[in-house]
Structure 1
């Protein structure tokens, strides 16, 4: 009888612990909600010590500190996120996200809807791989970006390089470049 009670107690304890552990889909939902709320501390709790973002040939590894810089960069564009679809496959989750921002609006692809494959390590997000962005017109994106960069180089060279500066200052300069470009006579 004593053994039966001990086993029952361990099973209940185990079930209780498993109920408190969020699913991968819940982690992803909380991740995008934290971005939406501008709460980096919540994001930090959901990502692994190292997080890798991939987009095409670009692979960028982040620590918590360097990802915070990316977070600050993104926040300057007032980006909003909405999960459109979440599907779990093997050890990954495929998520389709629609986002809107000052930058996407300028690049004439607002909102931007993209698919991401998200991988986990020990229950935390460890890799986010960009996939297709159906409906995105990359030719217009590139044309608008190149026009802005060229005009800034000629008219406001002190802002030149904003396109490659993935810091908060770079994003501030990017927004300033957009404002100057849109206000041009």
Structure 2
């Protein structure tokens, strides 16, 4: 009888131990501490291309620092501002992001990215291309540094000035379409581009 009790207890204990270890393993897998930085970066660019704000929200740290090294410009986005303002603004122009190259180097992501949309077509007359260095900590993107590869400042400035002047004369109600990056301002910008293009056909 004692042997039977000991056997039952041992079996029950082993089942409990196995269940406990299984829960621990699943919990660790859920946190995914060894998630590939390269996979995270690829998901980021896919989310940009598809304007998928839900996916993007899960990839970013609470604060995202972006750096334009050509102009020594640095900006700190809150996750909410980046996802719910900048991404919405960006999506209005129907962008296409293409990853030309991507790899890891010294725990950083190095990529070459091309972008084209209605705004870029008007102002730059061709896709823009840049190199990007992405920093990831604890599976969250914390910082992105960009440097231009293909970007013609003179064409961009000339075409932007022409658009601004045309809007000031023909559609003053759209003045301020460059004053921010959110949905309402983006709609003004999109309307300005559409009206300008229609008038120059």
Band the TM-score falls in, shorter-chain normalisation? 0.7 to 0.9
Aligned residues: 172
Selected match of 1:155 from 170, 193, 196: 170
**Aligned residue in 2 for 1:31:** 44
TM superposition outliers: structure 1 runs of 4+ over 6 Å:
none
The question of 1:177 aligning with 2:164 is answered no
Residues 1:145 and 2:160 aligned together: yes
Report the Cα distance in structure 2 between the residues aligned to 1:92 and 1:45, rounded to whole angstroms.
19
Q: How far 1:89 moved relative to its partner?
A: 1.8
Matched-pair contact (CA < 8 Å) for 1:109–1:137? no
**Unaligned ranges ≥5, structure 2:** 1-20
- 1:37-56 C-alpha deviation (Å, 9 max, x unpaired): 22211101111111011222
The answer for the alignment partner of 2:106 in structure 1 is 90
Give the superposition deviation at 1:65.
1.2
Q: Which runs of structure 2 are paired with 1:67-86 in the superposition (5 Å)?
A: 67-68=82-83, 69-86=85-102
RMSD of the alignment, in Å? 2.2
The answer for the alignment partner of 1:124 in structure 2 is: 140
- Segments of 5+ residues of structure 1 without an aligned counterpart are 1-8
The verdict on how the C-alpha distance between 1:89 and 1:109 changes in structure 2, with shifts beyond 3 A counting, is farther
Partner SS for 2:178: helix
- Asked if 1:106 is matched to 2:122, the reply is yes
CA distance, structure 2, for counterparts of residue 133 and residue 173 of structure 1: 29
Distance of 2:149 and 2:185 partners within structure 1? 25
Deviation at 1:164, TM superposition (A): 2.2
- Whose Rg is larger? 2
Q: TM-score, normalised by structure 2?
A: 0.78
Q: CA deviation at 1:87?
A: 2.5
